[in-house]
Amino acid sequence: MSEPMLALAGVHTHIGQYHILQGVDLVVPRGELTVLLGRNGAGKTTTLRTIMGLWHASRGALLFDGNDVTRAATPDISCAGIAYVPENMGIFSDLTVRENLLLAARAGEPDTARLEWIFGFFPALKKFWNQAAGTLSGGQKQMLAIARAIVEPRKLLLVDEPTKGLAPAIIQSLITAFRELKAMETTILLVEQNFSFVKSLGDTVAVMDDGRIVHSGRMDELAEDRELQQKLLGLSLDTHQ
């Protein structure tokens, strides 16, 4: 097996006096989409923030693309090739769609062919190109947030609950976008609670509870095993069509 894109080994994170991550072991294989599931407050966002260096691990180690990034600063982690779409999306409301994308492109003007590729699955961004991002709908803002993260090729994309509050039609366009990214062999770590959204997208899956990974394996195995879903996710048979 090739070296994973990202590996967390025994990672503990404290936020102030609170001991939030309590020994997280997580492997994100290269070129795959890994889904991180878990109930509210399990520690999913804290895991992403620890990967980005926004919180620092008090114990354990983080390896990205073979390099130890446990104590690296956020700008260095970003420059090393990790893009992060946070829960609150982190877009600039007063700036236009175009300006939001320009700011996200480190190499200057975004590549035209890459923009056309993004417009292919997020056409609203082309339509509202010169409109302030704050005037977009929730789903369009989410598209812009993801577009900012992929405006240049990145090694690893972290996305925190992109489907929150979105209508099914918008979720469908996110599925298309993630499939496109997978086809480009982007490695993705996707945090979700919406199992029906991720069960056909994920290659690998990890389930978190109380600051630890309590299950990891292949997504197709979990998707077929209703008993395990019930045990890990508390899903009832009628909620995951």
State which of residues 4, 11, 28, 38 lies at the interface with ligand ATP (CB under 6 A): 38
* Choices 14-22, 88-96, 117-125, 227-235; region in contact with ligand ATP by CB under 6 A: 14-22
Residue 162 as a binder of ligand ATP (CB under 6 A): the answer is no
Q: Quick one: DSSP state of residue 133?
A: G
The answer to whether residue 167 forms part of the interface with ligand ATP (CB under 6 A) is no
Interaction between residue 45 and Mg ion (CB under 5 A) = yes
Among 3, 10, 19, 41, binds ligand ATP (CB under 6 A): 41
Query: What's the 3-state SS for 92-114?
Result: CCCCEHHHHHHHHCCCCCCCHHH
Longest dimension (CA), the chain: 50
Beta strands per DSSP E along the chain: 6-15, 18-28, 33-38, 57-64, 67-68, 82-85, 156-160, 187-191, 204-209, 212-218
Counting contacts by CB under 6 A, is residue 18 touching ligand ATP?
yes
Selection from Mg ion, ligand ATP, none that 202 binds (CB < 5 to 8 A by kind) is: none
DSSP state letter for 140: H
Q: What is the distance between the terminal CA atoms of the chain, rounded to a whole angstrom?
A: 33
With binding defined as CB under 5 A, does residue 100 bind Mg ion?
Answer: no
Residues that bind ligand ATP in the complex, under the rule CB under 6 A: 15, 18, 20, 38, 40-46, 193
